[in-house]
Structure formats: structure tokens, C-alpha cells
Amino acid sequence: MPDSEEFIPTHKSVVLHNKGEPVACVIDDSDPSLYESLENNSSLQATLTGFLNKDEEFGLLFGFQLKIKTDAVFLQYTAYPNEEFIDTVIFDERIYIISKKLEPILTLKIGTDQFVMTKSEFDKFKKTV
């Protein structure tokens, strides 16, 4: 990793439960009005990138960077989630941005063409077996 400073955690991640189902959340305490322009913005782009970081005390840590960009806004989140968070993102295909009061601010659908089976792909696979 050429610049480890780029991977310093900026946000906390947590798994909450909505109607008994786990949901992956990133906690953001910035002004919620910052997100109002994102909701129906046609220039919205979001990327989720996983990475490994080495810590002298803890060894290898899995983290992710979530970047949200429009023509006028750029937001970046770096977090080190637990395994439940990772599984929830893979199977639920969504990440929720929430406030410290656990109020929903923004929901992002995750699309991937990587070799990671999402829940919908997994459900299709189960039907064929």
C-alpha cells in the first residue's frame, strides 16, 4: 500500500436490523441537507472498494472506501467493518448512510460484475439446483 494515510478510518460501520433483516450502515454525523441533492441526481456515481491494510498490532485488516460523487459533491468514507457487515453488503446489495441518531439519510444499491455472489444471484442459483 503506497500511501497508508489514505486509508485512515473516517467513519464507523454497523449492522442494524430492519424487520428482522440485517442492513449494512455507515454512520455520518455531517449535515443531512448535504445529501438532499443526491437523492434524484442523474450524475450520481458511487463506488465501493475493498482493501487490506496492515497494522503492526492487529495484522491484516479488511476495510472499504465508499466514494459518492456528483457534478457538485464528492464524499468519501473509509471504514474497517466486521465480517457481518461484509456478508450483509454482499447478500443485501445495499449500504445505508445513517445519522448518529440511527435515522436513514441515503440508501445506495450495490451493483457488481465481480466474482462475488450477490443475494439475487445466490437465490437464482438455489432455484436451478
Please give the pLDDT value at position 105.
Answer: 92
Please give the pLDDT value at position 125.
Answer: 67
Residue ranges of the chain with per-residue pLDDT less than 50 = 115
Q: How far is residue 122 from each of residues 22, 70, 115, measured CA to CA in Å? A: 17, 32, 12
Q: How far is residue 85 from each of residues 21, 27, 76, 80, 116, measured CA to CA in Å? A: 12, 13, 18, 10, 15
3-state SS, residue 25? strand
pTM: 0.76
Please give the pLDDT value at position 79.
Answer: 93
Please give the pLDDT value at position 75.
Answer: 92
Q: Per the structure block, which three cell numbers stand in for 54?
A: 496492515
Please give the pLDDT value at position 30.
Answer: 85
